[in-house]
Amino acid sequence: MHSLIMDLSARYHIQLEKAGGRLILDLKAEYSQTLVDRIHIQNALQNIIENAIKYNPAPLQLRIRTSNRERYLQIELADDGTGIAPEHQKKIFEKFYRIPTGDLHNVKGFGLGLSYVKHIIEAHEGLLTLESAEGKGSTFIIQLPFSKEAQKVPENLTVNV
C-alpha cells in the first residue's frame, strides 16, 4: 500500500503546491501489505483526495498517514478544509447523496463517489469511517486487513501507534 500511496501522492503533490497547499505523507505502518484490487483501491483513495481538493478552499493541507491497528492496515486521509456538518456525515456514503448547497452549483458531481469508496472498502473486508468537524476539516479512516501470507504477521499482533 505504501507504494500505491506514494504513486498517488506524486500526482497530487504539484497540484496542491500550485494552489499554495501541501500534501504530507506519514507512512509509519510497519506492516503495509494487503491483498487488494489495486485499481479499485487506488480509485477509492483518489476519490477521497479529489473530494478534499474540490470541496475545500485553497490552500489545503492534506495528510495521508498509515499505521497498524490490531489486524488492520489503517490509512487516514485528513484535510484542514471546511469539514462536514454532523447531519450530513452519515448520509455522504449513500448513493446519489450530495450535501445541499442551495442554489450554488460550483462543484459538479452525481453523489456516487463516496458510495463507491464505501462499497470497495467493504468488498475488501475493510472498514471506512469519517471524523469531521465544521471549520476544522475531515479525516477519512480506512482499515484493510493485513495480507498475512506476505507479511507473516504474528497471530497475536496488536500494535497501537
Q: What is the mean pLDDT of residues 106-122?
A: 81
Beta bridge partners of residue 67, listed in sequence order: 74
Residues 95/115, Cβ–Cβ less than 8 Å:
yes
pLDDT band, very low/low/confident/very high, at 133 (cuts 50, 70, 90): very high
pLDDT at 72: 95
pLDDT at 94: 82
Residue 161 has pLDDT above 70, yes or no: no
Residue carrying C-alpha cell 490552500: 59
Other CB atoms within 10 Å distance of the CB of residue 138:
24
* Closest among 33, 152, 52 to 107, alpha carbons compared: 52
Hey, is 139 helix, strand or coil?
strand
pLDDT at 74: 98
Residues 60/16, Cβ–Cβ less than 8 Å:
yes
Q: Choose the weakest-confidence range: 25-29, 124-128, 153-157.
A: 153-157
Residue carrying C-alpha cell 495528510: 63
Q: Choose the weakest-confidence range: 49-53, 56-60, 75-79, 127-131.
A: 56-60
pLDDT band, very low/low/confident/very high, at 150 (cuts 50, 70, 90): very low
pLDDT at 109: 64
pLDDT above 90 covers a percentage of the chain that reads 63
How many angstroms separate the first and last alpha carbons of the chain? 18
C-alpha to C-alpha distances, 117 to 11, 38, 142, nearest whole angstrom: 19, 13, 10
Residue 137: which region, alpha, beta or left (left: phi > 0; alpha: psi -120 to 50)? left
**61-69/72-79 β-pairing:** antiparallel
C-alpha to C-alpha distances, 46 to 41, 51, 70, nearest whole angstrom: 8, 8, 25
Q: What is the mean pLDDT of residues 84-90?
A: 87
pLDDT at 6: 96
**137-145/72-79 β-pairing:** antiparallel
Mean pLDDT estimate for the chain: 86
Q: What is the spatial distance between Cα 125 and Cα 13, in angstroms, rounded to a whole number?
A: 30
Residues 142/74, Cβ–Cβ less than 8 Å:
yes
